[in-house]
Amino acid sequence: MRRNRNVKIVATLGPASSDYDTIRALHEAGADVFRLNMSHGTQADIAERHRIIRQVEEDLDSPIAILGDLQGPKLRVGVFAKGEEDLVAGAAFRLDLDEAEGDATRVCLPHPEIFAALEPGANLLVNDGKIRLRVTACGPEFADCEVIAGGTISNRKGVNVPDVVLPLAALSEKDLSDLEFICELGVDWLALSFVQRPEDVTEARELVRGRAAIMSKIEKPAGVKRFDEILAVSDGIMVARGDLGVELPVQNVPPIQKRLIRRCRAAAKPVIVATQMLESMIDSPMPTRAEVSDVATAIYEGSDAIMLSAESAAGHYPVEAVRTMDNVAIEVESDPTYREVIEASRRVNRQSVADGIVAAAREIAETADIKVICCYTESGTTALLTARERPRVPILALTSLLGTARRLALTWGVTCVMTGELTRFKMAVINAARAARAHGYATESDQIVVTAGVPFNIPGTTNILRVAPCQESLIYATDPG
């Protein structure tokens, strides 16, 4: 399905978007990727949503990426005798391993790993940062704290520990079960939560065994500090601004977002900007102006995809939220300033033949009257490198592998078309011309750029480029071999 924009849209499925008609409407409105959130719903629920997505894909003949998002470790306090207590700034409050019900002076925190890592002066954030505690003394089974910012604390509220690297694996017991389940189900991307170090990603990769691409969620300060190492072992990145905005001062998040997007683009790895993009559309058919500006900023920065969470999963206007993102993207990308920003941020250290080929493809396409860049790709690498260039003309990726086509649905500017396996470059050019005409990218009087790797079907061999007419008789007449 051809879009009138380059940035992709990720829509989370949930109670408000679980039936065939809604999921199809979301895709037709602009959703390129569907996120299955393992934090909500049973495995049976997830399997049914997966089945429906694949049915929509088949009915519309449009490759759709499915992103399975693991929950990650959840750190929560215990329960209170009264259900909740009010903590006052300046008061003392203890967290410990005692499972007795809490009161205004203490509560259980059933995570000895936290106490093992804490030091005096560390901050603990409760209930999305609404309550801030500072550790004054600590041991293997307790942490005495001073209440810095008070508020109401209630049963099982989440706890964030921004100042230390926690000795916790990124994969909980639930995650291990969910990982195997969704990999066997057939998701295209696996989103890994709670990533603090590159070892978290390599551990998950061993378990995935090539069945899905791995997307690391950057939601902790430790992940930001070791970002380059994490990026090197990841297939993609999600800038998860929810927890990131809790554990860091909120003013730090926008520059971090911009830096991470640029590093992902330089590495030719897709990046999603996520969390609270159109939050008000959970209950309203119209977004706020600030939310529209936030979406636009992520697009101007060159992100591959922008994501809806509760807006499409549990909101009253899921289709409208996708359509709003689609409209914003179309408007932003038609702004001349958008091209200026995108091209000014093109900083690539080209080191391979493939890098040179895709750079030349963009230069030729933008210099001559070329309508589309057609790239043959088996692993997806050629399409990713082409997308890194952010060309002014569309990118048509041709592949014989459905899994590659689905994964590339997340990549900026790429439209995927299935094709058979090839053995000769001339047939690659002919198939590219046919696909360009069939999908409305070019007519017989136009020219296209075709890139491929010869010999075919060997990943990472992009080594040939041709400017070709879109008319088959001319292709045969000008074929050099």
Which positions are catalytic?
35, 76, 217, 275
Residue 77, amino acid: V
CA distance 117 to 192: 22
Whether residue 185 contacts residue 50, with contact meaning beta carbons closer than 8 Å, is answered with: yes
What does the block give as tokens for 321? 């939220």
Q: How far is CA 224 from CA 113, 195, 256, in A?
A: 21, 10, 8
**473 burial via Cβ count (<10 Å: 0-12, 13-18, 19+):** exposed
Neighbour-count burial for 384-394, b at 16+ CB within 10 Å, e otherwise = bbbbbbbbebb
Q: Which residues, including other chains, have CB under 8 Å from residue 13's CB and lie 6 or more apart?
A: 23, 34, 35, 36, 37, 49, 53, 312, 313
Please state whether beta strands 236-240 and 65-69 pair in parallel, antiparallel, or not at all (unpaired): unpaired
Closest CA to 68 of 240, 241, 192: 192
Collect contacts of 399-407 with beta carbons under 8 A, ≥24 apart. Answer: 400/457, 402/63, 403/188, 404/377, 404/378, 404/379, 404/380, 405/63, 406/63, 406/64, 406/65, 406/66, 406/188, 407/65, 407/188, 407/189, 407/213, 407/380
Q: Cis peptide before 394, with omega less than 30 degrees from 0?
A: no
Backbone φ and ψ of 380, nearest 5°: 100, -10
Please state whether beta strands 33-37 and 8-13 pair in parallel, antiparallel, or not at all (unpaired): parallel
Q: Which residues, including other chains, have CB under 8 Å from residue 72's CB and lie 6 or more apart?
A: 170, 171, 172, 175, 192, 193, 194, 217
Closest CA to 8 of 323, 303, 305: 305
Nearest 5°: CA angle at 4, between 293 and 256?
Answer: 35
CA distance 187 to 41: 16
Closest CA to 188 of 10, 436, 383, 5: 10
